Amino acid sequence: MTKTITLAKELIKKASITPDDMGCQDHMISHIKPLGFNVELMEYSNVKNFYARKGDSSPLIVFAGHTDVVPTGPIDQWRFDPFSPSEDDGLLYGRGSADMKTSLAAFIIAIEEFIDEHPNHNGSIGLLITADEEGIATDGTVKVVEALKARNEKIDYCIVGEPTSNKYFGDTVKNGRRGSLSAKLIVKGIQGHIAYPELIRNPIHEVAPVIDLLVKTVWDDGNEYFPKTSWQISNINGGTGATNVVPGEVEILFNFRYSTSNTADKLKERVETILVDHNLDYQISWNHSGNPYLTEKGMLVDKISGAIESVLNIKPSISTTGGTSDGRFISTICDQVVEFGPINASIHKINEHVNIKDVDLLKDIYKKTLENILCS
């Protein structure tokens, strides 16, 4: 069993369900402190984070990730105990195996090997690790970034270890993510007996043409890196449960996933203009959970793509698909942020797993990226 797989298993054993760290970060720190890293513990509202750096010169390349995992779901539906990492048929099972404890292990062992092989390398190496990524993400990376920004510490390059591979390992590098804007819309009517339409006002009927218009609206055309902005309803709730009563209101939850061709403020304005134009009696509350970010093709994209080609002999695609990540926070102090990690097909699912053979290949890609940037 390799050092990377051993460390990955040690991390998977720790039941670090968000926002609990359960000792994962202490275990990681025990590996990097002997390498000469200066480690800062940054705890906010009982959420553990740490920022570590070795070296004072530029460029600074930081590996970023999270030790927290999502809940297991019904344990009796797992093939193996989710916090007892188990190997079977070439796969390593366990909660967090793909998202993202093998990436964390690959960070650490890649750094260890790189420093051992290149003790006089250029620049600096850092780690930014949180236990608040899978939850509400208010006391994790965003707070660490605010602290770094306050002291004018800038990161030159950042690799986030999110599971980005799609059909096969190494096929996708993420160079950005879409923004996310959600809303709760309540449209009010007049409740009453369904047989007396002259005495009621049906809010479902009134909002129906608005829904149709919002579905058909082209919010933007996207751009070279992003698809068009998407508007989707996730929930509609209305009615008393009785078949002969028109409800007094209907509640609609919806979300935008939007590109750098748009802004949250513009989307809010367009939606509310449509609501007003249709004379709806409504209330709306907005939740903006992240701006889009983008790293255009350049130094970091080229170097990690070159590392993947060198190790795997494949050329990855460059993509901005998927949900939000902590890259949205880091991009405020780092112009070049990419995400790369294992296959994402099983993340957050029962029987989450990774291919065992991919674990050390991931470590090799991270190490090769360090070499491409700090040894050139």
pLDDT tens-digit series, residues 124-137:
999 999 999 999 89
C-alpha distances (whole Å) from 92 to each of 264, 362, 370 are 40, 14, 26
CA 269-274-277 angle, to 5 degrees, is 120
pLDDT of residue 325 exceeding 90: yes
Comparing CA positions, the residue from 15, 291, 19 lying closest to residue 130 is: 19
Domain C-terminal end among 274, 290, 306:
290
pLDDT at 25: 98
| pLDDT tier, 250 (very low <50, low <70, confident <90, very high otherwise) | very high
Tell me what the mean pLDDT of segment 218-247 comes to. 96
Which residue positions form the known binding site? 66, 99, 134, 162, 348
Place of tokens 């539906």: 77
| pLDDT tier, 323 (very low <50, low <70, confident <90, very high otherwise) | confident
Q: Point out the catalytic residue in the list 68, 206, 339, 360.
A: 68
Same domain, 60 and 87: yes
pLDDT of residue 352 exceeding 90: yes
Cα–Cα distance, 227 to 261 (Å, whole number): 10
Active site residue 198: no
Q: Point out the catalytic residue in the list 20, 21, 132, 133.
A: 133
CATH for 185? 3.30.70.360
| pLDDT tier, 199 (very low <50, low <70, confident <90, very high otherwise) | very high
pLDDT tens digits along 60-95: 999 999 999 999 999 999 999 999 999 999 999 999
Same domain, 89 and 234: no
pLDDT at 101: 98
User: Which runs of E-coded beta strand occur in 121-274?
Assistant: 124-130, 155-160, 172-174, 176-177, 179-188, 192-193, 230-238, 245-246, 249-258
pLDDT at 215: 97
Domain C-terminal end among 230, 258, 290:
290
Same domain, 111 and 163: yes
pLDDT of residue 228 exceeding 90: yes
| pLDDT tier, 376 (very low <50, low <70, confident <90, very high otherwise) | confident
pTM of the shown model? 0.92
pLDDT at 297: 86
| pLDDT tier, 48 (very low <50, low <70, confident <90, very high otherwise) | very high
**Residues 313/364, Cβ–Cβ less than 8 Å:** no
Cα–Cα distance, 271 to 310 (Å, whole number): 48
**Residues 290/179, Cβ–Cβ less than 8 Å:** yes
Domain C-terminal end among 245, 266, 290:
290
pLDDT tens digits along 34-47: 999 999 999 999 99
Mean pLDDT taken over the chain: 97
Cα–Cα distance, 353 to 219 (Å, whole number): 38
Same domain, 263 and 327: no
Percent pLDDT > 70 in the chain is: 100
Cα–Cα distance, 254 to 214 (Å, whole number): 11
Which residue positions form the known binding site for Zn(2+)? 66, 99, 134, 162, 348
Same domain, 275 and 186: yes
Tell me what the mean pLDDT of segment 166-181 comes to. 97
Comparing CA positions, the residue from 227, 133, 218, 140 lying closest to residue 177 is: 227
pLDDT at 77: 98
Tell me what the mean pLDDT of segment 294-320 comes to. 96
Active site residue 68: yes
Same domain, 79 and 212: no
Same domain, 65 and 171: yes
Give the total number of structural domains in the chain. Answer: 2
pLDDT of residue 226 exceeding 80: yes
pLDDT at 49: 98
pLDDT at 271: 98
Tell me what the mean pLDDT of segment 98-110 comes to. 98
